[in-house]
Amino acid sequence: MERPRLSVHVISETELLMMKSQGVHTAFLDCVEMLKSGNEVRCVVNQEGWGDVLHAHSYGPYYIWKGLMRKYRGRRILTVHVIPESIKGSLPAWRLLMPMARWYFKFVYSFSDVCIAISPLVEETIRSLKVKTKVVRIDNPVIAEKFRSTPRKRTAGRQLLNAPDAGFVVLGVGQIEGRKGIEDFLAVAARFPQLTFVWVGGRPFGPFTEGIHRLNRQIAEAKKNNHRLIFAGTFPQKQMPLIYNAADILLFPSLQENSPLVPIEAGAASLPVIFRDLPEYARLYKHPYLKAENVEGFCSLVKKMIDDTRFYREASEISRKIVTQFDDTAIRRQLISLYREVGERKGTAA
């Protein structure tokens, strides 16, 4: 007998709060697009209705309110994109806020019936909080095909960025905050005045961004000294394939990440990606990646890519190989299996 088709209610407050420039929102959109690409489950989004299973990508009051509904008892899934340590370098006075953050995240993880950990670090953090909720490891999916490089995308992307038609472009993507390593990005840009450096991203926390005045001064000074340095602001997710295609290298100097989508999307566009050497990446990625510890290391790799076309091609291939770990087809199968397991639980729903 054929199983009835499950209805999955996928929610994220990033849609409702207009926080659309964050990786959490991108992951939410990719999840919805991926689920709607087949017929195994029916996907209901935010306020469109109800489902058999609730799958949240955010962790605020909207999730708690939806999760309290009787029909979702025992059927609440939370993809954990954010851990307490994520507030370091994002919010001022984060040391004072850390105890409250740890308490709140423990509450939210415990409220869920299943937590999806997007990286080994996230899984370890959830367990360290003594949460009894079931934890499963599933990578963030990336729909690689839409980022694939074409000359048309490159031309359109450079127009969006107001970047020159010719010449080397080094791209940085992320929120404008200390945690994202933007100060090192500025330092590398100062070493290569002949190249165009572009940073794409905004400040979702506005005036509450950690170190906002310090960063504003540094950015203003750097732009005054280098007319090739561009801060382009934010773009809708549908335009990000054009942004990646406009560049020649992605410099990703972030100081703390869980499972970032940006370098994987860039890799899908065949961009060489330079990571900061962080221990969480060594545990997350199944394939080798290019990394450096500091500004000197970043500069060395950028220079080598400019001077050595063979190394550039090798670096591009390394990035494409990493993308295979985040194949949306395989991850879709994992999610649907989890939905069925949770959705078919007896005696937990109305």
Residue 207 lies in a domain: yes
Cβ(182)–Cβ(199) below 8 Å:
yes
Neighbours of 295 (CB within 10 A): 18
Q: Which of 7-11, 15-19, 216-220, 292-296 has the lowest average pLDDT? A: 15-19
Q: Residue 94: is its pLDDT beyond 90? A: no
Residue 348 lies in a domain: no
* Pairing mode of beta strands 41-45, 6-11: parallel
Q: Residue 102: is its pLDDT beyond 60? A: yes
* 342 backbone dihedrals φ, ψ, rounded to 5°: -75, -40
Residues 225 and 314 in one domain: yes
Give 98 or 21, the one with higher predicted confidence.
98
Which of 126, 77, 62, 263 shows the shortest CA–CA distance to 181? 263
Average pLDDT for 195-209: 81
Residues 172 and 311 in one domain: yes
Percent over 70 (pLDDT), the chain:
92
Residues 210 and 312 in one domain: yes
> How many domains does the chain contain in total?
2
* Residue ranges making up the domain that contains 73: 6-141+327-343
pLDDT at res. 322 = 97
Q: With the C-alpha atoms ordered 235, 256, 338, 55, is the resulting torsion angle positive or negative?
A: negative
Q: Residue 13: is its pLDDT beyond 80? A: yes
Cβ(267)–Cβ(322) below 8 Å:
yes
Residue 1 lies in a domain: no
Residues 156 and 136 in one domain: no
Q: Residue 211: is its pLDDT beyond 70? A: no
- The DSSP output letter for 144 is G
pLDDT at res. 88 = 74
Residues 125 and 218 in one domain: no
Q: Which of 20-24, 149-153, 223-227, 318-322 has the lowest average pLDDT? A: 20-24
pLDDT band at 21, cuts 50/70/90? Answer: low
Residues 154 and 17 in one domain: no
pLDDT at res. 205 = 64
Residues 208 and 332 in one domain: no
pLDDT at res. 93 = 67
Average pLDDT for 127-151: 95
CA atoms of 50 and 35, how far apart (whole Å):
16
CATH number, position 209: 3.40.50.2000
Residue 350 lies in a domain: no
pLDDT band at 347, cuts 50/70/90? Answer: very low
Average pLDDT for 75-92: 84
pLDDT tens digit sequence for 106-125: 999 999 999 999 999 999 99
pLDDT band at 348, cuts 50/70/90? Answer: very low
pLDDT tens digit sequence for 229-256: 999 999 999 999 999 999 999 999 999 9
Residues 233 and 317 in one domain: yes
Residues 102 and 13 in one domain: yes
Residues 338 and 316 in one domain: no
Residues 252 and 158 in one domain: yes
What is the pLDDT of the chain when averaged over all its residues? 91
Q: Residue 350: is its pLDDT beyond 50? A: no
pLDDT band at 349, cuts 50/70/90? Answer: very low
Which of 252, 248, 164 shows the shortest CA–CA distance to 201? 252
Residue 297 lies in a domain: yes
Neighbours of 217 (CB within 10 A): 11
Give 78 or 47, the one with higher predicted confidence.
78
pLDDT at res. 63 = 95
Residue 77 lies in a domain: yes
Average pLDDT for 260-271: 97
Residues 304 and 221 in one domain: yes
Q: Which of 48-52, 96-100, 250-254, 260-264 has the lowest average pLDDT? A: 96-100
pLDDT at res. 276 = 98
pLDDT at res. 202 = 84
